[in-house]
Amino acid sequence: MRFLRPAFPRWIPAVLAGLLAASSALPTAAEDSVYPVASPAEPGRTNTISVRWKKPRDGRPVAEVTGLDPVRLATLAAQSQPPTDWRRILAVHTGPRGAVRRDLPQLAGDYSVTNGVLRFRMAFPVNHGVEYRAEFHPAEFHGGGDDTVAYDRLYLLPPASDRDRPQTALAEVHPSAAELPENLLKFYLRFSGPMGRGDAYRHIRLLDESGAPVDLPFLELDEELWDPEQTRLTLLLDPGRIKRGVLPNEQSGSALVVGRHYTLVVDAAWTDASGRPLKSGFRRRFRVGPADRRSPDPEQWTLRPPVAGARTVLDVSFGEPLDHALAERLLTVHDLAGKPVDGSVSLSDSDRKWTFVPSAPWRPGVYRIRVGAALEDLAGNRMDRLFDVDLAATPSTSASAKPAPDGAVRTFEVR
């Protein structure tokens, strides 16, 4: 039986915890912590409970609790306990050895009960040199009793040797255009390997033309916006300074000013998941153009159809840079029957051009490009809504988005 992980805001990764320094004296992940526990259900009988970490193959370790009262465990599993209830029984978080801490934020993952074993599988890979704690609460398991007692197990993935992996580098930054709109919403930073969490904003700066740091340009979230592999960071500019009529915008103005030049700087001292600094720092200079307050319009895109009988390229030119990650994911090719066409996607010309190469030669016929409604331009404008609407403007003077709740479709023919 499996249980879904707790629900989290969809735009925030599920891990919320400070990454604390590790101690070399910690036991290895292969060991058990075994405790004799009296069973309230059967006075006089003692269950031997084992709290154990299983080493991961995919970077996501599994915490296991064995020796539990099988009747009680089966009862809880049959009741389809919500994730919050399982988290009270088996809590997993970062933190050092010591007293029971029920106030620490818990890590995201999936709970399951199989063959009398309660398991928790992390949703994300672990970081080298960080202490992860699986904490079993027998009172919560039995539905009452002394809740000050808990049995825990620490997991430590030792720091990686320099010989174990190449030094992590900042591989790509998007958008990459020389000119970006005044109301730019985000940057994407993609790294060659997993990065550590919780330290990003100390190592990223935005400099003005004089070389001085721009004051608070980014939305600094407690939970950094990493993909599951921890190789891509979404760096949001403060939306409060973008939206007109909002207090931060009224007080501080936009972080970017039309006509000026800025430099995005990434510090080489930023450490990856193994605790080593980046291979090198990064700097990119760009100029700021007028704000973009119009929705993407697929009807204005230029398509260059491929030729039948070969794996020729399908090109789509947007006429403007679009959001790199969304454009990679939200444009798909289908045949006339609606079957997806397998192939690879790439973006070029500073994210102005989308290219699709099929896995097999094209067959003659009519095809469709489906465009997801969530596709955005660099300012966060979608086909069905604008990110920033001037509430003081009249409808005739304010650019408006076209209704597109289901996205859009462009048709092309292969001959």
365: domain CATH number? 2.60.40.1220
Stated pTM of the model:
0.64
In a domain, 163, yes or no: no
For residue 39, the model assigns a pLDDT of: 42
SS (H, E, C) 208-269: CCCCCECCCCECCCCCCEECCCCCEEEEEECHHHCCCCCHHHHHHCCCCCCCCEEEEEECCC
Q: Which two tokens stand for residue 43?
A: 């006075």
For residue 320, what are its two tokens? 């403007």
Question: Highest-confidence range of 10-24, 59-73, 134-148, by mean pLDDT?
Answer: 59-73
Contact predicate 121/134, CB 8 Å: no
Domain match, 271 and 303 both: no
pLDDT at res. 42: 45
Neighbours of 14 (CB within 10 A): 18
* Contact (Cβ atoms closer than 8 angstroms) between residue 301 and residue 410: yes
Give the sign of the dihedral formed by CA 376, CA 379, CA 380, CA 386.
negative
User: Would you state the structure tokens that stand for residue 335, as one six-digit string?
Assistant: 């045949």
pLDDT tens digits for range 217-239: 999 998 899 998 889 999 999 99
CA distance 10 to 62: 24
Final residue of a domain: which of 230, 265, 289? 289
Q: Are residues 215 and 316 in the same domain?
A: no
Same-domain check for residues 20 and 126: yes
Residues 312 and 402 both lie in one domain: yes
**Domain-embedded: residue 161:** no
pLDDT digits (tens, 9 = 90+) for 274-318: 888 999 999 999 999 999 999 999 999 999 999 999 999 999 999
Question: For residue 372, what pLDDT band results from cuts at 50, 70 and 90?
Answer: very high
Q: Which CATH number covers residue 263?
A: 2.60.40.3710
3-class DSSP state for residue 182?
Answer: coil
Residues 245 and 305 in one domain: no
User: Tens digit of pLDDT for each residue in 347-362?
Assistant: 999 999 999 999 999 9
pLDDT of 40 higher than 50: no
Residue 228 lies in a domain: yes
Within a domain: residue 254? yes
Q: Does pLDDT of 381 surpass 80?
A: yes
- Are 105 and 17 part of one and the same domain? yes
Q: Domain end: 289, 324, 353, which one?
A: 289
Are residues 179 and 259 located together in one domain of the fold?
A: yes
Write out pLDDT tens, residues 147-169: 555 566 666 655 555 555 568 99
* Domain residue limits at 390: 298-414
Q: How far apart are CA 89 and CA 91, in angstroms?
A: 6
Which domain-ending residue is among 131, 156, 181? 156
Query: Is residue 162 in some structural domain?
Result: no
How many domains is the chain built from? Answer: 3
Residue 246 has pLDDT above 60, yes or no: yes
Assigned token pair, 131: 């202490």
Tokens 């100390």 belong to 202
Using pLDDT thresholds of 50, 70 and 90, give the confidence band for residue 401. Answer: low
What tokens were used for 305?
């159809």
Where helices occur in 55-186 by DSSP H, the ranges are 70-78, 83-89, 138-142
- Looking at the structure, tell me whether residues 227 and 332 fall in a common domain: no
- Are both 82 and 225 inside the same structural domain? no
- 303 and 283 in a common domain: no
Extract the tokens encoding 288: 């700021």
Is residue 38 included in any domain, yes or no? yes
Instruction: Give domain status of residue 187, yes or no.
Output: yes
Please give the pLDDT value at position 92: 84
> Does a structural domain hold residue 264?
yes
Residue for token digits 């190469």? 357
Q: Are residues 216 and 132 in the same domain?
A: no
Mean pLDDT, range 88-111, rounded to an integer: 69
**378 shares a domain with 273:** no
Q: Which two tokens stand for residue 84?
A: 């919050």
